[in-house]
């Protein structure tokens, strides 16, 4: 008889947690595993199928975090929008969010790693109507060309992806969409790459990450014969990053003169530019920041900041008094 136990959750709300993030922001894991089958990814084999935590357990953990000073929670899993579907819930994530927004001390709730399939109108509606839910969505799309999407075993095709982006932007015009793409997937031709480049120029994502494809042992994609050279992969990545830099600067210039709430992350010290924070539309660690030209503020404060200057990824502003 095997001595290997059935996989269990790594933790629940009572497992002691060491916060690796500053005390006013925290990541909350809402599910384990993944039931998608992206051909480049080994996670489903390692972590097993998607399994949601209970709403009660997540709410309890968030209450404990909020009692320790956390103001922003970032919900994470491999497929956040699928939350609850494995337990038969139709709109599980919306249901969870309705409970989380009631926790007084929590000011911002952010959704990370949202696979497009379960991102439905119900979720878009609650994001639009609930002030505490950040006007931000992390939507890794991986590619835009149908040939590559199919080879990646992604569930959506270009038409569905476009429709989803238009629906989100129509409902929440000031939303920031972060996405991630893979370049140099086996079989990606110049034509496929051009398609991706034109797609991101058209969609003008607020934040974008690009990765060169790297074969993962045990995945279907690693066995494909038409692998791309590292040289081409790197060139394609650089072209996308250069393009995004320009688009990001143009977007950031649109903030000049506008006042936004900023969660202060770094404060103190003699250098006034050591004070920085993030808007609702900037996630911790991966997006840009707002440098604040005033040092008498505390980390964890949420302040009204008027943006005065834009850079490629970061902004500069002053506290509105
Ligand atoms: S890339 Fe993400 S959605 Fe796809 S199989 Fe891996 S973990 Fe799941």
Question: For 63-87, how does the pLDDT look when each residue is reduced to its tens digit (9 = 90+)?
Answer: 999 999 999 999 999 999 999 999 9
User: Are 25 and 263 spatial neighbours (Cβ–Cβ below 8 Å)?
Assistant: yes
| Strands of the 108-111 sheet, one edge to the other | 25-29, 72-76, 108-111, 133-138, 176-183, 207-212
pLDDT at 274: 74
Neighbours of 49 (CB within 10 A): 12
Q: Is the CB of 43 under 6 A from ligand 1?
A: yes
Asked, colleague to colleague, whether 1-138 and 139-253 share their fold, the answer is: yes
Give Cα separations from 258 to 83, 261, 289, 306, 309 (angstroms).
35, 10, 15, 6, 11
Which ligand 1 atom is nearest residue 78's CA? 7
Judged by DSSP in three states, 133 sits in strand
Q: Would you kindly state where each structural domain of the chain is located, as residue ranges?
A: 1-138, 139-253, 259-319
CATH class of 259-319: mainly beta
Asked if residue 10 has pLDDT above 60, the reply is no
Q: Give the least confident one: 94-103, 181-190, 289-298.
A: 289-298
Helix (H, G, I), strand (E, B) or coil at 22: coil
Q: If you take atom 6 of ligand 1, which residue's CA is the nearest one?
A: 41
| 141 CA distance to ligand 1 middle (Å) | 11
Candidate from 5-19, 102-116, 137-151, 181-195 with smallest mean pLDDT: 5-19
Strands of the chain (E only): list them.
25-29, 31-32, 51-52, 72-76, 108-111, 133-138, 176-183, 207-212, 259-266, 276-278, 290-292, 302-310, 315-319
Percent of the chain with pLDDT over 90: 86
pLDDT at residue 219 greater than cutoff 50: yes
Q: At which residue do the structure tokens 């650089």 appear?
A: 238
CA distance 193 to 3: 48
pLDDT at 319 over 70: yes
| Banded model confidence at residue 4, pLDDT cuts 50, 70, 90 | very low
The C-alpha angle with vertex 41 and arms to 35 and 45, in degrees rounded to 5, equals: 55
Cα of 121 vs centre of ligand 1, distance in Å, is 22
Question: Could you name the CATH architecture of 139-253?
Answer: 2-Layer Sandwich (3.30)
Nearest to 134 by CA among 32, 259, 263: 263
Using an 8 Å Cβ cutoff, are 120 and 160 in contact?
A: no
Residue 2: the pLDDT is: 40
Distance 298 CA to ligand 1 centre (A): 38
By alpha-carbon position, which residue is closest to atom 3 of ligand 1? 36
For residue 36, how far is its CA from the centre of ligand 1 (angstroms)?
6
Give the pLDDT score at 5.
44
Torsion angle (degrees, nearest 10) of CA 53, 57, 60, 66:
-20
ipTM summary value: 0.99
Q: Report which protein residue has its CA nearest ligand 1's atom 2.
A: 78
Average confidence (pLDDT) over 142-156: 98
User: Quick one: fold of 1-138?
Assistant: Transcription Regulator spoIIAA (3.30.750)
Task: Tell me which residue has its CA closest to atom 7 in ligand 1.
Answer: 78
Mutate to test the pocket of ligand 1, among 43, 77, 179, 222 (most ligand atoms within 8 A of CB): 43
Is the distance from the beta carbon of residue 36 to the nearest atom of ligand 1 less than 6 Å?
yes
Asked whether the predicted pLDDT for residue 6 surpasses 60, the reply is no
Q: Residue 48 phi/psi, 5° resolution?
A: 80, -175
Atom number of ligand 1 nearest to Cα 44:
5
């Amino acid at each position: 008889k095997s001595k290997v136990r059935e996989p269990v959750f790594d933790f629940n709300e009572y497992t002691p947690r060491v916060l690796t993030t500053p005390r006013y922001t925290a990541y909350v894991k809402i599910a384990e595993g993944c039931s998608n089958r992206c051909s480049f990814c080994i996670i489903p084999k390692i972590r097993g199928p998607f399994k949601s935590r209970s709403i009660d357990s997540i709410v309890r953990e968030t209450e404990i975090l909020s009692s320790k000073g956390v103001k922003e929670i970032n919900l994470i899993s491999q497929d956040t929008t699928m939350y609850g579907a494995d337990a038969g819930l139709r709109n599980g994530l919306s249901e969870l969010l309705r409970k989380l927004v009631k926790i007084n001390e929590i000011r911002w709730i952010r959704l990370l790693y949202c696979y497009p399939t379960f991102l439905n109108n119900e979720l878009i509606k609650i994001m639009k109507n609930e002030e505490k839910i950040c006007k931000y969505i992390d939507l890794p799309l991986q590619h835009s060309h149908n040939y590559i999407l199919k080879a990646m075993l992604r569930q959506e095709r270009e038409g569905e992806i476009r429709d989803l982006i238009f629906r989100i932007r129509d409902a929440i015009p000031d939303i920031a969409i972060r996405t991630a793409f893979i370049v140099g997937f086996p079989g990606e031709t110049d034509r496929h790459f051009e398609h991706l480049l034109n797609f991101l120029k058209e969609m003008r994502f607020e934040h974008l990450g690009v990765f060169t494809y790297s074969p993962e042992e045990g995945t279907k994609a690693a066995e494909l014969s038409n692998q791309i050279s590292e040289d081409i992969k790197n060139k394609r990545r650089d072209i996308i990053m250069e393009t995004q830099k320009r688009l990001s600067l143009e977007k950031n210039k649109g903030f000049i003169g506008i006042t936004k709430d900023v969660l202060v992350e770094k404060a103190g010290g003699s250098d006034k530019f050591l004070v920085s924070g993030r808007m609702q539309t900037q996630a911790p660690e991966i997006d840009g920041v707002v440098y604040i030209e005033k040092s008498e503020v505390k980390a964890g404060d949420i302040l009204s900041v008027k943006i005065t200057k834009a850079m490629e990824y970061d902004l500069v502003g002053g506290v509105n008094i």
